[in-house]
Structure 1
Amino acid sequence: MKIDLIAGARPNFVKIASLIHSIQQSSSKIDFRLIHTGQHYDEALSGSFFKQLELPNPDIHLGIGSGSQAEQTAAIMIAYEKVLKKNKPDVCLVVGDVTSSMACAVTAKKMQVKVAHVEAGLRSSDWSMPEEINRVLIDSISDYFFTTTKEASLLLIKSGKSKQQVFFVGNTMIDTLLRFKASFIQPRIWLDQKLREKEYIMLTLHRPGNVDKADQLKLFLKEIIKNSNALPIIFPVHPRTAEVLSKFELIASNLYLIDPLSYLEFNYMVERSKVVITDSGGITEETTVMGVPCMTLRDNTERPETVTLGTNELLGTDPAALVPAMEKLFKGNWKKGKIPLKWDGKTGKRIIEILIS
């Protein structure tokens, strides 16, 4: 069996890592190509990143680079079509909801290659998010659907997918988290600021609605600082967020703006934090498994299990919502949470076994 594994952004590689490790451990003969579209150019996606996650270097790098959604989609489709014309796999496997996944899925399907979607069936019902459009498009044309929850499987079946196409397998991102949990790396900020467990706040913000307007970003930061109980706030700054931050001055002795951390460094900090405040989807899954309180600054989520079962609370995009949430946290009333079914570190193995069969 020949499989193309598509990745274009940092979270994709974290998810793909589980599948590569499972292929390497399988007794069956499986050939795979790791294809890096180059959708995101990120210094953190360097040799050290691949080494940390025990990943081989990409077999093919499409080198797409930056551009608008349409420019990236078109460039990826053209480049991947050339790859497929030379050598077709049996299956094109895409993960998540980024532009790379959608563009390669469409291209593969038009070239008569089977498409497998990992993290299928996730929905936020927010059509202002490019990711939601990508999820729906990928699920509309895929042949195999691998879901993180029973609810996602049910959604796909209700939408007309055959039960024989849909497989509830768990979460590949959690596979990677559990595999490397013992190898988390203490970053420099820990020693520089003499941080202590459960006595600092981790903050990440990158969604356009939260960071593209300086006034909105400033309001969020002011509210977080005001309600932080003077705990250090560690903020690894996304490049798009850094650009907006440069437009205003905000002085706070407990706010630490730092460069993005590596995967192993970032999760070291998350695991030991008092709370994570974020607008990311994937981080809410990781905090749920690590039992860390999480506040999500979004109006909706495609990962409702992190709220109904996990440690996450959806606060919305009104900065005022942080006040009661922080009060609840510091009173010790935050929920404990449970780990969703099959988030057990064995998802990649399940997916590979199903594809072989």
Structure 2
Amino acid sequence: MLCTWKTSDLQLLLILTVFLVAERISARVEDPISNSTQQMGKNNDSLALSMVGKQNDSKRLAEVNSSQPVRVDTKIVLSCHPIPTSVLVTWEIILRDKPLCTKAYRSDNNVTKEVNCTDKRITWAFRPDQNSSLLIDPVAITHDGYYRCLKATPDGNFHRGYNLQVLVAPEVTLFRSNNGTAVCKAVAGKPAARISWIPEGYCVPKQEIWGNGTVTVWSTCHWADSNVSTVSCSVSHPTGIRNLTIELSQGAPKSDGISMPHVILFIFIILIMLAIVGSIWLLKISGCRKCKLKKIEGTPVEEDEMQPYASYTEKKNPLYDTLKTVKTSQVLQSEVDGTDLHTF
């Protein structure tokens, strides 16, 4: 009985050992599979993230917007997305208080079309089949708005937009008012200009907005310090910076050009030169008149030249006198002969 129990115990231990070994082997086999599955999951996640990133990049490339400032009375060329092959090119122009203007070109049938586009200053810059850029010439204040180019290609749709901002330089003036304050004014600028003073004083800024979008700003300043004799006004604008200076005691503004004393000196020099030239001219005229009078007094006048016909009649002609004498003697002879005949 004891031997039989021992044999059965050994068999049970052997069976348990086999099961334990089999379980350990199966566990070792499953671990690489699960590890590979997790690695594949991580790879898929990174691939998905990279695909999403690429899609976002392509979206950013497809839709490009930029701000484009341009001065009034100039010209500008707005380019479309640089895609060589496109089936359809469309420009959408959104202006203030105007309907949407659309300019389109189809390359498959080489046809252009316009809808609600009445401004002749906005045209294709070149042939649309060669270059799809847009030309604005000349730029006006009314061209402020949004311009978008849409290109349909086999690879997708691409957009490029421009926020066009038309700049108008203001007319800057600086003058002194009656109450002793200085006024700096920037008229009809777009956008509004900014005014600053040197030295700083007690200033009151004001502005006025016009219907065409331009703005007039002015600043009135006074200085409590009586030692301030000269002040400067600086007007900042996207088109440039203007600086003007004025003397509070005289009120004559000075710009970046010629000062007033220089102008007065220049005028004085011109007057002196004119006086010198005029004196020389008068002396020359009076000298010529004196010379002519001397020549006239020194030349004798002959009586025959003054009275040619009278001298001709007074002179004796011998030939004429001889003929007259002959004729007289002949007449007397004929009268004597006639008397004799009557006598006989």
- TM-score tier by shorter-chain length is under 0.3
The higher-RCO structure (CA 8 Å, 6+ apart) is 1
Structure showing greater radius of gyration is 2
Structure with bigger strand share is 2
